[in-house]
Amino acid sequence: MLANTLALAVSGATGTPFTLTRVNQDNFGSQYNYLDAIQKITLKIRHSVDTVKADPSKGIAAGFFNRHNATIEHTVFATPTVAEKSCTATITLRDGKGYAPTELLAFWVGFNTLFLAQDDAIVVGDN
């Protein structure tokens, strides 16, 4: 189980690091919130299982994937002179039969490193 509070550091953001506090937890996930007079941050973590139906004509065997989703949303509230603005970031990690969580984590770390090296180009629409 994750901690009841999580720290989120955002470069250049007013109020960082933010302390996200767990507001909901069940068997399949958690929700954390941060709220102050100028902004709100919501982090949702969910776990589920995706099933794959067999389709022998396409060579697809029946199986499943463990799915791990994390979504974070940041909203900066409107002021008399500036409109409200928001952004969202999501990740989905899936591991199938025979793929260990440590292997998934190693693959994710590699992908994240690649993405961080390209993030300036990606967020402006380069592909």
What value does the mean pLDDT of the chain take?
A: 92
List the chain domain ranges: 5-52+61-96, 99-127
Rounded mean pLDDT of 86-106?
A: 92
User: Of 12-16, 65-69, 98-102, which has the strongest mean pLDDT?
Assistant: 65-69
Q: What does the pLDDT look like over 63-87, one tens digit per residue?
A: 899 999 999 999 999 999 999 999 9
Beta strands in 1-127 (DSSP E): 5-8, 18-26, 29-35, 39-52, 63-76, 85-96
What's this model's pTM, rounded to 2 decimal places?
Answer: 0.84
pLDDT value for 42: 98
Q: Judge whether residue 123 has pLDDT over 90.
A: no
Rounded mean pLDDT of 89-107?
A: 92
* Gap between the terminal Cα atoms of the chain: 37
Dihedral over Cα of 17, 21, 24, 29: its sign: positive
* Apex 17 CA angle, 73 and 107, nearest 5: 65
Pick the CATH number of 5-52+61-96 from 1.10.357.10, 1.10.10.10, 2.40.160.220, 1.10.3720.10: 2.40.160.220
> Residue holding tokens 């973590």?
45
pLDDT value for 52: 86
Other beta carbons less than 10 A from residue 67's beta carbon: 14
pLDDT value for 127: 87
Dihedral over Cα of 94, 99, 101, 104: its sign: negative
Q: What does the pLDDT look like over 18-69, one tens digit per residue?
A: 999 999 998 889 999 999 999 999 999 999 999 988 889 988 888 899 999 9
